[in-house]
Amino acid sequence: MNVVDRFLDFVKYDTQSDDMTNMTPSTPGQMVFVKHLKEIVEEMGLEEITLDDNGYLMATLPANTDKKVPTVGFIAHVDTAPDMSGKNIKPRIVKDYDGSVITLNEEKKIYLDPAEFPEMLRYKGQDLIVTDGTTLLGADDKAGIAEILTAVAYMQAHPEIKHGKVRIAFNPDEEIGKGAHKFDVPRFGCEFAYTMDGGEIGEMEYENFNAAGVKITIKGRNVHPGTAKNKMINSIRVANQFIGMLPRWETPEHTEGYEGFYHLVGIEGTVEQTSLQYIIRDHDRARFESRKREISHLVNKINAEFPGSTTLEMADQYYNMREKIEPVMYVVDFAKEAMREAGIEPKVQPIRGGTDGAQLSFKGLPCPNIFAGGLNFHGRYEFVPVPSMEKASEVIVNICRLVAEK
Cα–Cα distances in Å, from 391 out to 255, 276, 359, 388, 397?
31, 43, 26, 5, 10
| 37-62 per-position pLDDT tens digit | 999 999 999 999 999 999 999 999 99
> Where do the CATH 3.40.630.10 domains begin and end in the chain?
3-207+321-405
| 163-191 per-position pLDDT tens digit | 999 999 999 999 998 999 999 999 999 99
> Where do the CATH 3.30.70.360 domains begin and end in the chain?
211-317
Q: How far apart are CA 368 and CA 183, in angstroms?
A: 16
Mean pLDDT across the chain: 96
Please pick, among 14, 79, 132, 390, the residue that the annotation labels catalytic.
Answer: 79
* 211-317, CATH topology level: Alpha-Beta Plaits (3.30.70)
Region 116-128: what's the mean pLDDT?
A: 97
- Distance between start and end Cα atoms, the chain: 31
For residue 243, pLDDT beyond 90: yes
Is residue 160 among the annotated active site residues? no
| 324-351 per-position pLDDT tens digit | 999 999 999 999 999 999 999 999 989 8
| 225-234 per-position pLDDT tens digit | 999 999 999 9
Which CATH number is 3-207+321-405 given?
A: 3.40.630.10
In percent, how much of the chain has pLDDT > 90? 95
Is residue 19 among the annotated active site residues? no
- Phi and psi, residue 351, nearest 5°: -85, 125
Please pick, among 14, 174, 175, 282, the residue that the annotation labels catalytic.
Answer: 174
What is the per-residue pLDDT for 354? 79
Q: Identify whether the C-beta of residue 281 lies closer than 8 Å to the C-beta of residue 261.
A: yes
